[in-house]
Amino acid sequence: MRRQIPLALCFIAGLFMAVQYFIPHPAVQNTYELLLGWLQTLLAFAFLLGTVSLIRMHFHKIRNRADDRAFSWVTLLGLLGMIGLGFIHPQHQLPGSPFNLMFLNVQVPIEATMFSLLAFYIASAAFRAFRARTLEATLLLIAACIVMLGRVPIGDLIHESIPAATQWILNVPNLAAKRGVMIGVGLGMMATALKIMLGIERAWMGGSD
């Protein structure tokens, strides 16, 4: 029963979600919207679960005097501090409230910093990818040079056909490859969903037996 009930629930829910696509009747569509609403409710409770997991893991690290427990202290103090600030000011979302100040002046700049690292990582990754050691890498290097030049005004100044070549690379070989991958992805998604619905794929619940 421990396995049958989840499998039956999965089959019924999966079948309903598949069938509702073909039935526009309000009786079905309203149920579908209701179920989507339930998902939101479920997510709210799940966040509580996530927070408990986070606190427990870092608490264990501190208790076990792990080497990197200093980070656990920072995490727990940050978490509890922000919760405290949220309770201190009744309208914490308003500009000027302590919670809002901390969010805008600490979290937002830190996240922006992390995001900005992407530019440097792109440069280092491009350096590795564009080393012309094989035929494929050489083709990649040539295509990348044309596309990069075609995207800036100097490309047009070097030769007027470079922007057109850029567009051709993006619209023909690049797009064809993308669509090929996407068709495969679509079919793969359907197959995976079907296998889960039919109980063929059971790894999500720990395995087949």
Which residues bind to other proteins, rule: CB under 8 A?
A: 18, 21-26, 29, 39, 42-43, 46-51, 53-54, 56-57, 60-61, 67-68, 71, 107, 110-111, 114-115, 117-118, 121-122, 124-126, 128-129, 178, 181-185, 187-196, 198, 200-201, 203-208
CB 14 within 8 A of CB 197: yes
**Residue among 21 and 87 whose Cβ is closer to other proteins:** 21
Smallest distance from the beta carbon of 21 to other proteins, in angstroms? 7
Amino acid occupying residue 20:
Q
Task: Return the residue matching tokens 């995976």.
Answer: 192
DSSP secondary-structure letter at 171? I
| Cα 27 to chain centroid, rounded | 33
**Residue among 85 and 156 whose Cβ is closer to other proteins:** 85
HSE value, Cβ hemisphere, 13 Å, CA-based, for 117: 5
Distance between CA atoms of residues 156 and 159, nearest Å: 5
Smallest distance from the beta carbon of 126 to other proteins, in angstroms? 8
Smallest distance from the beta carbon of 135 to other proteins, in angstroms? 16
Smallest distance from the beta carbon of 199 to other proteins, in angstroms? 10
CB 125 within 8 A of CB 133: no
**Residue among 94 and 185 whose Cβ is closer to other proteins:** 185
Distance between CA atoms of residues 187 and 201, nearest Å: 16
Distance between CA atoms of residues 39 and 149, nearest Å: 47
**Residue among 29 and 161 whose Cβ is closer to other proteins:** 29
Smallest distance from the beta carbon of 95 to other proteins, in angstroms? 20
**Residue among 101 and 193 whose Cβ is closer to other proteins:** 193
